Structure 1
């Protein structure tokens, strides 16, 4: 506990930006010609840190609007060929700042001398969410979205890619506010999105009724960049790394009067190693099975992303985006098994070698219509339809070679034909009826259609015979219809928001080979409420409540399993039911000159909790999800930032949760108490005008599970950046997991068996180079797979 107190005290010396709900408006004109200047860059910049808080570009008529939740800032207006205009004095009337007509003077500076880049990530606190604006964090360069998420306060990603929010796994992941096949664990998910393609990450621990109710722990919404700069812009990126992480990417953007065209092209090759060690021991006869394994997953990937915005007029825009990706996977694995009897004598030793190949085509389209109304720019209607398609044609072969003894399992092979199609139809309407009151309403209809034809064959007398017990065809169709309505009031010091969402879920699953069918249909109401109060310019408070649901996903329900390690199996449970949660939160935001701090106290009550339970039979451990009782978690969270010098910034994130578990499953009582905490600390050093250095430390504590313990670990990342040619070129070097200490270790200890597993991926080195061309800022491609 002393360690916890020390970390809490230390993190009080760091912080984030504060909430003040301010809207800034103005228009940009050429001082000489008196003509509007479209696509000028406007940014609100923090007085203390000189960091960009929020930015935008002027429209065709030169108008712009900025919204921020901060104080202590100035406004800068920049455009290529013009002198920078800095506005430090303005008046705020009921949170509205009217800058009026801003005149830009021509400048003699060359293009290379004009640079507007948000170098560091910042966090904005809004009434119902926190927005992590992704800057040029060195440690994420050349990496994917999972590395970005691991830098976001409150979020943790384990070595297997599982994402948790405040230590809870019931998280809904959205892309641009919508469900996506990219967020499904079966599609290799978020490792396919590049870090440099992310504009921001919204962490919503208490979502309003506007959002889907999915995700008992909350929502993580990833916002993808889309540039709208004038003329032709672009960039090219090259990356290489060890283990293999080689890629090339090209980004292009062309803005005209009526169209904004954007494209991404990329290709690459990477290797993901994984080492594991497991022990299965029967406590009845003391027999034991031990395995040591190593896997190398190799991936070739090719991406094409095309999109356009069509500006019908100033009030109506149609956006169409299409993505296509093709992946070729090959995986080699080798597991050494040792089987011992109760006296400790070795009965058999053999090696199980496997080769897996797969091809994965992926398609995606997104069609959106946005309408603004003349009376207010915030009066909007959004209609969208999205389709995601993912396929996997996979084949695996496993060969066993005997070293000692006489027992040797038969060789096996697997054939998998997987498909997934997701469709979403969404409507959102926002109407600021007055300066103080805003109404929101809309709905969503989502369809998930998934199939997995899984066949296992055993080699019997040099002939392949299908295993009827292990093979089956699993079908999954889920339909969710949701409608919502919210209202918010913003006064001088007080802010209120309340809403109600209704969702109907219709789920059908089938094991067609064995004629097993499951269906469920249920309707739920999900209320939400938020309130904020500004005590002073340096101190404000927020409180929130929401009711949430976590539905079992396809891989939670699918009873198939991977037989790579035939003694350590994970499989789904077709009878799994959804879990429900009630979330309460109280947040305080403090601001000092060089120090800011966000502190949250929260309580999460979850019923029908989905837990991973391990069964043991014939020295085989099988882990599957089950619904077990109730969990109450009380937590304390701190996010902090401290900038003592212009060349050094220290930021930290700490989360502590105490939980109480009550539940019984198959006559076994699972009542226990425990705690779990995690922390992150990042130091950013500006060595010179062109060189930056970054060092990050992460720690996750040991915690209890319903059957055992999962151990904690400490690991660090570092990054180094060198700017070339006045920022047009950038050279990055990063090391992920410097000491290869990011290890997942867990034990299951029961009266009749003991199970131990440990896994690690090792350290990763990446060297990257990118070069931007054209006017303004260009999009970049970081080297991971985009789609």
Structure 2
């Protein structure tokens, strides 16, 4: 019978008891399907312990001296299996694992696997074990991961800043706004785990100074049909509604999958700034209502051409229809704090954007023990059309309009991005080590057509001094090699990646042409002292190429005195990262250091003579970041699981431009806790409370004030757990406000922003079909370039 475990041992020619012998095999489920990522633990004499994981074909292997051993196979959603064996020659052990009986449909509330796991090169948040994965979307679920923050829909790591986001090892190729829309379209119930990779191995693109966050979706292997429908209604200042569904079907050699989501609604962000000129103070308040309709979807097919060959094709696309209604009021105060004058600007923006991407891939097994070749071809295109109409009217201190002060303007931008990549990876697991290598080619074309108009006699006349055609081409060729080896209690991994990049940018008849070769080494060392204590040390170098939008010189005016623009001559920055960590049972402590060279950020340049405020990105920062982190996860009492993180960090930033402060440094403290509750024995009534708090800190050359956020939720599973119903409240006390200050040209600037984050939400999801279906693992090849449109 399939549920009985079997194993087979083959003995080859004998060796002496001191020889190193091979122990290998394959792990499968009840249906003989290979199981990847199964943990295999070997315990021998004198408390020696060895660990490994099965590869994508379910293969594992060890090199051991002859003797008696205990072997334990364990994996989430499966019962652990243990065996006592005696090795006197090369040995093969094949096993089948039996699926656990307490697996819930699309949601795991299980103590078998910790919610947070520390691994050699990443930290894993097991969403399948999280109550947070009920009734939320991918962006909100990210905000519940300890150490991750969401600020104005942008994903950040505590103390380190922005981070690139991947879906199934593929960077999402969208701008910051479109990225948040895409993440909001992914129901969290579709997510298996979230990986925080602060120092990615050489196999990953070197792009992204602070590392990567990889969202791994659930997989499909078993034959059958499965799907779900979902709907949500959210109330912030106004209502937002969303709906969608997904379908998966597999029969014989064919696997089909599709999903579609749509969201429509509006929010009301609030932004206030105070600029303290030497003789005046400008108080600027921007009240804005943003409307969005965001449909999107994906379809794909996998074909198992033979036992060793898998082919796949997928398409992903979406569009955003955005418009805003803005009122920007500027009050100008004199030195005695009396009102001097006022400026009113009414504006509306219209943005239509769409993207299309396609991936074709081949996965070819080269033998039966895990050697394989993977080839990916990717195409991505993005188009947007932006129009912003605004007017300005000035008033005296008594409220009377200043004669002839009324003026109307129009700024437009059309952007086209085309990206093509080809990537090949080879994985070669040998008896005593693992080797992988690969290559990648990428070709990027980015073009922006910019124009600025001023209304005269009811007609818009173009301003040739503020109009521009911007062209940017970038080609990169990359090679990498990675090596893994285990020696008793030690794990070693090292890699080297080389990337050769050619850049050619033209803007206003200025040309920026450059080519450069850079190398990116990575090193990992892990020592398992015993079952309770593990020590690790890693080092890596990263590059942060500018997002395409920061290269675009388009000016986005708030009023006639303030605008934001890109910089076509912005250069990449580089990070060197090193981290040491110790894990004792449920408690992990890590100490890390990061140096940033040639860092870039937006600087709001202010001119005392003209009162012009121009925000543009420039390379000017050399930064040093020191961080001490403590994480702990445990069951407080039965039905209450808590995971908390406490970070202490110290930032030093030095400026390379005269307009800013020469340097700024300071300490910061961040605390977060995620608490999950199970209120009944059938695990159908669930709850959660999450809180984070950050003390005042330094971020680059800005000083941030303290802020905190509290979320609560109650969730229930109905109809044999096929229905999920969730009620959640985010930012309960309306305290997630972003307040910071900086000094530019000896002029102090203070900002107070709130992005309508206090929200009430009700979410409904219905699952149907074969509950045992899982989704295949697949990767695409244009990870780095697609993420840079953020």
Q: Tell me the TM-score normalised to structure 2 length.
A: 0.83
Q: How does 1:291-330 map to 2 (within 5 A)?
A: 291-330=284-323
- 1:208 maps onto 2:198 in alignment: no
For 1:90, the equivalent position in structure 2 comes to: 83
- 8 Å contact from structure 1 (residues 439, 486) kept in 2: yes
5+ long unaligned stretches in structure 1: 1-21, 30-35, 47-55, 79-84, 781-786
SS at match of 1:152: coil
- 8 Å contact from structure 1 (residues 348, 405) kept in 2: no
Change (3 A) 1:705 1:118: closer
- 8 Å contact from structure 2 (residues 413, 554) kept in 1: no
- 8 Å contact from structure 1 (residues 90, 99) kept in 2: no
- 1:430 maps onto 2:423 in alignment: no
For 1:336, the equivalent position in structure 2 comes to: 329
Change (3 A) 1:521 1:40: closer
Distance 1:420 1:662 in 2: 34
Change (3 A) 1:699 1:332: same
Q: Tell me the TM-score normalised to structure 1 length.
A: 0.83
User: Using CA pairs below 8 Å that are at least 6 residues apart, which structure has the higher relative contact order?
Assistant: 1
Residue 752 of structure 2 is aligned with which of 747, 758, 770?
Answer: 758
Q: How does 1:194-205 map to 2 (within 5 A)?
A: 194-196=186-188, 197-205=190-198
Residue 132 of structure 1 is aligned with which of 122, 125, 141?
Answer: 125
Distance 1:600 1:516 in 2: 47
Distance 1:555 1:228 in 2: 39
Change (3 A) 1:605 1:732: same
- 1:420 maps onto 2:396 in alignment: no
For 1:531, the equivalent position in structure 2 comes to: 525
Q: How does 1:360-759 map to 2 (within 5 A)?
A: 360-376=353-369, 378-400=370-392, 404-407=399-402, 408-434=405-431, 436-511=432-507, 514-591=508-585, 596-617=586-607, 618-666=610-658, 670-688=662-680, 689-705=683-699, 707-749=701-743, 752-759=746-753
1:705-736, CA deviations, whole angstroms, 9 ceiling, x for partnerless residues?
55542212011111211110120111011112
- 8 Å contact from structure 2 (residues 416, 446) kept in 1: yes
The RMSD of aligned alpha carbons is 3.6
Q: Is 135-144 or 616-625 further displaced after alignment?
A: 135-144
Residue 264 of structure 1 is aligned with which of 255, 259, 264?
Answer: 259
Distance 1:298 1:191 in 2: 18
5+ long unaligned stretches in structure 2: 1-22, 42-52, 63-69, 776-789
- 8 Å contact from structure 1 (residues 280, 754) kept in 2: yes
Change (3 A) 1:186 1:556: farther
Distance 2:709 2:182 in 1: 21
SS at match of 1:572: coil
Distance 2:197 2:74 in 1: 28
SS at match of 1:733: strand
For 1:784, the equivalent position in structure 2 comes to: none
- 8 Å contact from structure 2 (residues 107, 133) kept in 1: no
Q: How does 1:2-81 map to 2 (within 5 A)?
A: 25-28=26-29, 36=31
Q: Is 735-744 or 298-307 further displaced after alignment?
A: 298-307
Q: How does 1:231-270 map to 2 (within 5 A)?
A: 231-243=224-236, 244-270=239-265
Change (3 A) 1:222 1:422: farther
Distance 2:244 2:761 in 1: 15
Distance 2:468 2:642 in 1: 53
- 8 Å contact from structure 2 (residues 413, 451) kept in 1: yes
- 1:169 maps onto 2:165 in alignment: no
- 1:279 maps onto 2:274 in alignment: yes
Alignment size in residue pairs = 719
- 8 Å contact from structure 1 (residues 390, 420) kept in 2: yes
Distance 2:643 2:138 in 1: 20
**TM-fit CA distance, 1:668:** 6.2
Distance 2:98 2:140 in 1: 42
Change (3 A) 1:469 1:482: same
